């Protein structure tokens, strides 16, 4: 029988061998785990680097787009300014032409173009669309002395410069038309120059309309609805008018654009005018 001490030593050797084997397995597992962690960390580092590169490239693209946006806005502003300048130049030319025609008519030196029918003497001057006379809403302003202020008109009103115009769709007498304008804080249209005359004439689309001129108080003493001085303004009377042929104390703009005195009781379309309002 082997001594107990020898058996214990053998058991201890076996236990040590088993423990060493387990330690070896554990070391292998830990080493494999660290390898996987290192590989994952390397992958993460690579992905992070790629992400940083993508963000950097995206930032560059955003900066380029912002620069292009600024440049496009500047180009748009330049084009808008050029349009406004050209638009005003065209309107000025039209106004000069209308003024010259008015002077020629007054001086008796006007000759109708070949083939023109009586009363059609302006047709060769302005075969233009109303677009060139009416600046887009966002481009016009209501100057106030404190810089440009954008302005607006009510629905169904047309705007030209700093005024709003309503062209009626029904007929009324001259007095009733004036009252209709007054209920809308307006007055029958007052024509202050050739450009406004041209705008009204084209907008009227060959329809007769009451305008805000009358001599109801005293025959021959013509007055504008808003008190504007009649004598100092341009006038666009048809040849031979006003003639008060049938007690004619009110005025219509004919489909030709010329003015004609008319009995105030007749039923006509009418045009109201009031100031455009600054946008809030």
Work out the pLDDT band at 110, boundaries 50, 70, 90: very low
Residue 195 inside a domain? The answer is: yes
Q: What's the pLDDT band for 268 if we cut at 50, 70, 90?
A: very high
Q: What is the pLDDT of residue 34?
A: 80
Task: Report how many domains make up the chain.
Answer: 1
Integer angstrom CA distances of residue 67 from 57, 77, 145: 15, 15, 34
Residue 200 within a domain:
yes
Say if residue 184's pLDDT is above 90. Answer: yes
**Residue 223 belongs to some domain of the structure:** yes
What is the extent of the structural domain holding 261?
126-278
Nearest to 249 by CA among 212, 279, 278: 212
Which carries the bigger pLDDT value, residue 13 or residue 108?
13
What are 202-243's pLDDT values in tens digits?
999 889 999 999 999 988 899 999 999 998 888 999 999 998
DSSP letters for 106-121 = HHT---PPTTPPTT-T
Q: Is residue 272 part of a domain?
A: yes
CATH of the domain at 135: 3.10.100.10
What local confidence, expressed as pLDDT, does residue 89 receive?
67
pTM of the predicted model, to two decimals? Answer: 0.54
**102 found inside a domain:** no
Please check whether residue 68 lies inside any domain of the structure: no
- Kindly state the DSSP code that residue 127 receives in the 8-state scheme: -
Please write the tens of the pLDDT for every residue from 27-80: 888 888 888 888 888 888 888 888 888 888 888 988 888 888 888 888 888 787
Tens digits of per-residue pLDDT, 124-167? 333 333 343 444 444 455 654 455 667 889 999 999 988 999 99
> Chain-wide mean pLDDT for the chain?
80
**Within-domain flag for 8:** no
Q: Whose structure tokens read 């554990």?
A: 26
| pLDDT for the residue 25 | 81
Assess if residue 208 is contained within a domain. Answer: yes
């Amino acid at each position: 029988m082997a001594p107990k001490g020898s058996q214990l030593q053998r058991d201890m050797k076996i236990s040590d061998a088993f423990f060493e084997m387990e330690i070896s397995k554990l070391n292998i597992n830990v080493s494999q785990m660290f390898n996987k962690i290192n590989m994952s960390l390397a992958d993460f580092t690579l992905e992070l680097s790629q992400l940083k590169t993508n963000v950097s490239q995206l930032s560059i693209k955003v900066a380029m787009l912002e620069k292009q946006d600024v440049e496009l806005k500047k180009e748009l502003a330049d084009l808008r300014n050029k349009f406004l300048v050209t638009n005003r130049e065209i309107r000025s030319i039209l106004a000069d032409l209308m003024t010259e025609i008015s002077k020629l008519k007054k001086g008796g030196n006007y000759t109708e173009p070949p083939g023109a029918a009586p009363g059609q003497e302006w047709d060769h001057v302005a075969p233009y669309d109303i677009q060139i006379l009416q600046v887009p809403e966002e481009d016009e302003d209501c100057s106030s002395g404190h810089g440009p202020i954008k302005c607006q008109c009510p629905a169904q009103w047309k705007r030209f410069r700093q005024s709003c115009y309503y062209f009626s769709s029904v007929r009324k007498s001259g007095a009733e038309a004036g009252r209709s304008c007054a209920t809308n804080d307006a007055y029958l249209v007052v024509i202050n120059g050739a450009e406004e005359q041209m705008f009204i004439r084209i907008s009227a689309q060959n329809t007769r309309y009451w305008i805000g001129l009358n001599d109801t108080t005293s025959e021959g003493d013509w007055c504008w609805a808003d008190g504007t001085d009649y004598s100092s303004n341009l006038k666009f009377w048809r040849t031979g008018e006003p003639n008060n042929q049938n007690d004619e104390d009110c005025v219509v703009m004919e489909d030709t654009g010329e003015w004609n005195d008319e009995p105030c009781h007749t039923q006509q379309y009418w045009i109201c005018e009031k100031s455009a309002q600054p946008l809030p």
